[in-house]
Structure 1
Amino acid sequence: MDSLEERVNSVLFHQPSDHDGTSINSPCFEYRFDADDDDSQNPAERKLYWESQHALLMEVLERHSLAGTKIRHEINRRIEKARLESDFCRCLKTDGCSTCLRRRVVNLLRDKGLTATLCTSKWRDTKKFPRGTHEYIEVIGSTPNRKKQVPFIVEVEFRDQFEIAKACEEYKKLVRQLPECYIGKPDYLSAIVRLVCDAAKRSMKEKGIHMGPWRKRSFMLMKWSASIEKWEFMESSNKSSMQIRQPHDSCSLQLAAVPAVVVT
């Protein structure tokens, strides 16, 4: 069995191969762990699987917490400030709404001088997935020498994306470890989504419940595809002089022309 370090690196640095044209927007994009094993009801194998998934998730979250500490702290402060405001919602809903919250957070971040943008990922109907859209926040930071821009994804209802009503206790425990709000780089988000969606598939298999297409990894990753594809392209550009390709999705607004915060 691979070591925890090797498995974490496999999750973090897995990228779709360019030669086959596969991307996060392709229905065939899947990164397999152990959820398809036929002996899922074997007590020893089952215990090993869930302990392994928990350890992997904890390691990925720990690495995520060490990346971009300064910018994540600034963003989180603005989110908390927006939540405390009583009039951020323009929809006249009693408890407010996430749509208005995102817009208020973006305004607060821009007031602070950060390059914050409301982004929308959109995808068409396919044989496997229904069409859909998803809105989130993107903040652009830069490395200390300012030679490289770093996109940060902000999902204000991150944990809620993975809630399942009839999940097994091990899956519920895994989801409780997720941050309520995700603030971080696209690569860590991709790794977390792959891990948790694999666990969701395992949980549903154990419960004998059909897994809807909206629960699959490739569908979930499409929610943040505008930034994930940008990050993948930026990473590829740093390694080679590959030809620029047009992304499937793009941010709904242009980035504000303000200085990017330095990532530390």
Structure 2
Amino acid sequence: MSSLEEEERLVQMVHDFIESSESSSSSSPSSSKCLLSLQHHHQPSYFLTLQEILRSGNTEAEKEVLERVKKHLVMRSRRDGVLLKSSNGLKKWLVRKLKMDGFNASLCHTSWATSSGCPAGDYEYIDIMVEDEQTEEPIRLIVDIDFKSQFELARPTQAYKELTNILPSIFVGQEEKLNKIISLLCSAAKQSLKERGLHIPPWRTSTYMHSKWLSAGCQKCSENIESAFGRKNIEEENRSASVGNVAISMVKNPKRSAFGGGSASAAGAGPGCSGLSSQFSNMGINCC
């Protein structure tokens, strides 16, 4: 039995003892202090364990995938001029981008039926198959761009807030790592809800949370991502990227013949317009 499980069992034993001896006024104050002391000792162990899990097993492949995912999302956000919200369309777009980067990426849709204490549900995330750096065996990486919000609670304790604060918004990692995070956060959530006098909702149980990412009923949608996204949108995006590359090239090389080799007026620009503005104007883009 791990130290974490032993502490959980000890806290539960003390809690049961206090409930069974509430009628005894002499033992109540000391018992309450004992429980409070154990809870304060218990919460830091959650925090330290989660930190250790998050720092472990960060392979070069995981780092590269995370870097690419962040880059694409930042570029998409800047292009649209709004904060991105996780959606089916955004995930499909990201899968297509990752496939263009050379990754074996798929959109995964999990679903599960109602079971004892666990309602039916479904979820979507991305997975990528990579080679192990040492054995060259295939490894499955799970990518979730809305990871942190999945563990939010109503009226969380300060200790639980501190736990979720160190969770990454974007998760990239193997199933083993994810399994440890889910188990720890579900245990901490249970403790937080108990301290608030709240019942554990079915969608926050360990079984439900594990089903989101680790359910056996997972369907991969790696084919026809491009057609689902829309050929027209792809062409428009590629055209925008091409214009952006031209602009960057001209900014880096201001003395190139693209500016007409002279002043703004010599390049056909109006008064007060730069050569760069003229080039954008010729491309049908108003940058003013």
TM-score > 0.5 by shorter chain: yes
CA distance in 2, matches of 1:146, 1:113: 20
State the shift of 1:131 in Å. 1.1
Counterpart mapping for 1:19-168 below 5 A: 33-34=8-9, 37-39=12-14, 42-64=35-57, 67-68=58-59, 70-86=60-76, 95-99=83-87, 100-144=89-133, 147-168=136-157
| Contact 1:137–1:155, Cα closer than 8 Å, also in 2 | yes
Question: In the aligned structure 1, how far is the partner of 2:150 from the partner of 2:206?
Answer: 12
Compute the displacement of 1:71 (Å): 1.8
RMSD (Å) for aligned C-alpha atoms: 2.9
- Is residue 181 of structure 2 the alignment partner of residue 192 of structure 1? yes
Please identify, of 189-198 and 94-103, the stretch whose mean Cα deviation from structure 2 is larger.
Answer: 94-103
SS at match of 1:150: strand
Give the corresponding residue for 2:217: 249
Q: How high is the TM-score relative to the length of structure 1?
A: 0.68
Q: Who is 2:160 aligned against?
A: 171
Structure 1 residue matching 2:109: 3-state secondary structure: strand
**Partner of residue 205, structure 2:** 216
Task: Number of aligned residue pairs: give it.
Answer: 204
TM-score, length-scaled by structure 2: 0.63
Larger radius of gyration: 2
SS in 1 for 2:220: coil
Structure 1 residues 131 and 93: CA distance shift in structure 2, 3 A = farther
Contact 1:159–1:180 under 8 Å retained in 2: yes
Structure 1 consecutive aligned stretches of length 4 or more whose deviation exceeds 6 Å: none
Give 3-state SS (helix, strand or coil) of 1:152's partner: strand
In structure 1, what is the Cα distance between the partners aligned to 2:77 and 2:159? 39
Deviations 1:68-108 (A, max 9, x none): 2x22222223222332344899xx99644312222222111
Counterpart residue number, 1:259:
none
Q: Taking structure 1 as reference, are residues 93 and 164 closer, same or farther at Cα in structure 2, changes over 3 Å only?
A: farther
Q: Partner of 2:155: helix, strand, or coil?
A: coil
Q: 1:35 to 1:77 in 2, by over 3 A?
A: farther
Higher helix share: 2
Q: How far apart, CA to CA, are the structure 2 residues paired with 1:147 and 1:72?
A: 15
Q: Which moved more, 1:51-60 or 1:143-152?
A: 143-152
CA distance in 2, matches of 1:113, 1:168: 43
- Where does the alignment leave 5 or more consecutive residues of structure 1 unmatched? 11-31, 227-247, 257-264
CA change 1:219–1:153 in 2 (3 A) is same
Q: Secondary structure at the match of 2:124?
A: strand
Partner of 1:17: none
* Worse overlay, 36-45 or 166-175: 36-45
Superposed CA offset, 1:146-202 (max 9, x none)? 541110000111111111120110010011111111100110000011001100000
